[in-house]
Structure 1
Amino acid sequence: MEIKAKLLEIFEIQQITDTFKKREFVVEYAENPNYPEFIKFELIQDKCELLDKFSSGQEVEVYFNLKGRKWTSPQGEIKYFNTLQAWRILAADGEQTEQPPMNEPPDFDETPSLGDDDIPF
């Protein structure tokens, strides 16, 4: 999946565990300019640095996977979570920020294992 939008916020890299890190960012997507949408994405592992070449206000094209997870709390309550996991970012003018595109987007199932009290995000 992909969208073109304006980069609104870039957050710092978060080291979640010794082996897992993520970085979030927000874009303003204005399919209808009267009602813009503010969409949060995440980058994980070696993709976190993709945002280093960008700044707020810049028009970007974001390639991403839609991820969904089921989680059962220690009390037995089931919850569902969705994540928009970006794997490639281009400037709107087409400048690449990583190696040439791959044939298929990578499968990022490198989610850390959760403890009984952990929430999966």
Structure 2
Amino acid sequence: MALELIGKLIKVLPEVTGQGKNGAWNKQEFVIETLDSQYPKKVCLTAWGDKANDLKQFADGDTLKATFSAESREYNDRWYTELRAFRIEVAEGDSGYSAPPAPARSAQPQQARPAAQNQPAAMPFNTTFDDESNDLPF
């Protein structure tokens, strides 16, 4: 299952290395903030091996497109989820995603618009109706 995430690179965490039965390994975690202007989310992904080295070419603030897979595993009755990035690239301007523009706010109060000619006059809030004044067919 391949998922994609487009966002701004916020932080690259320190590289972690180790030695396993199959040889040396390295991984690096990084944080991307989504481009949703109203409720942006921060997501931490993991790059393993050569992908961790590829991460060094990007700077904080770059807009990236990360393709990743999600995997969960159990250890001592606890579940751990990892988002493993297997493709990290600069997001293109033509990627089809664009953040919605923020609404423009002006310091001046908005002026009242003239009422349309065909609209009925507004009724007072405390208007009461009796059965005879109600001309509805039901």
TM-score category, normalised to shorter length? 0.5 to 0.7
* Max Rg structure: 2
Q: Which runs of 5+ in 1 are unaligned?
A: 73-77, 95-121
Query: How much is the aligned-residue C-alpha RMSD, in angstroms?
Result: 1.5
Partner of 2:125: none
Runs of 4+ aligned residues of structure 1 deviating over 3 Å after TM superposition are none
Q: Which runs of 5+ in 2 are unaligned?
A: 94-138
Identity across aligned pairs (percent)? 26
Report whether the alignment pairs 1:24 with 2:29: yes
Q: With CA pairs under 8 Å and 6+ residues apart, which has the higher RCO, 1 or 2?
A: 1
The DSSP-based 3-state class of the residue aligned with 1:35 is coil
Report whether the alignment pairs 1:50 with 2:49: no
Q: Which has the higher strand share?
A: 1
Partner of 2:5: 3
The DSSP-based 3-state class of the residue aligned with 1:7 is strand
How far 1:52 moved relative to its partner? 1.3
Summarize deviations over 1:77-103 as a string: whole Å, max 9, x none: x10010100011110128xxxxxxxxx
Letter in 2 for 1:21: N
Count, aligned residues: 88
